[in-house]
Structure 1
Amino acid sequence: MGEAERGDAAPRLVVSYFCAHGHETRPAFAADAQVPETWDCPRCGLPANLDSANPPPPPKIEPYKTHLAYVKERRSDSEADAILTEALKTLRDRRARGELIY
């Protein structure tokens, strides 16, 4: 089936996007479509923009935090000591009453 049977192709606009690794991506858009400012690079996944001289920097990746790291952000050492002391007192009281503790 040729172009004569399908009709004429819609007018297209090819736009170049550039990422921080120097990759160029050239997606095609409809001629009357609004072209996005940024595009994800299909080769490396970094964001790309229309400015080849000034591509967007790679996003800053936050390191993995453990549960303890999040707790330490919310509690000071003195608060942690008070909570631990209270928990140990409760545990010792339950043991003194003869409760089973697992």
Structure 2
Amino acid sequence: MTGGNAIRGTRVGSGPMGESERGESAPRHRVSYWCANNHESRPSFALDAEEPESWDCPRCGLPAGRDQAAPPAPPRNEPYKTHLAYVKERRSDADGEAILAEALAKLRAQREGDF
């Protein structure tokens, strides 16, 4: 016999459970969704639950729809833009030159005041 005084028992939820202990599960049905890569996903929903129009494909992550012939288009990836790219979208080159000239004039005025 081994030494020690281990307490043997079970933890909550470790034993076999049947339907009688859990209760009745809701009646379910499966719905097919297809992504642009033609992967089929078949999640199950309760009969009285509202089914979503789209579902994320578990294989590739693209959005999937119920119509196999016309699945949703993959989302468009916007390239990363730098701060300068956003500024150039809002300002023309002439605006940039005017702002730069104004900032340089302020700096020159401050330098003349320091001496």
TM-score in same-fold range (> 0.5): yes
TM-score, L = length of structure 2: 0.79
Counterpart pick for 1:24 among 17, 40, 58: 40
SS of equivalent to 1:21: coil
Question: Who wins on radius of gyration, i.e. which is larger?
Answer: 2
Structure 1 residue aligned with 2:92: 76
Please tell me the root mean square deviation across aligned C-alpha atoms, in Å: 1.4
TM-score, L = length of structure 1: 0.89
Please identify runs of 4+ aligned residues in structure 1 that moved more than 6 A.
Answer: none
- Unmatched segments (≥5 aa) in structure 1: none
Structure 2 residue aligned with 1:14: 30
Cα distance in 1 between the residues matched to 2:22 and 2:55: 30
How many residues were matched structurally? 99
Q: Specify whether residues 86 and 5 from structure 1 end up closer, same or farther in structure 2 by C-alpha distance, changes over 3 A only.
A: closer
Q: Determine what percentage of the aligned residue pairs are the same residue.
A: 66
- Unmatched segments (≥5 aa) in structure 2: 1-16
Counterpart pick for 2:104 among 77, 85, 88: 88
Deviation at 1:3, TM superposition (A): 2.2
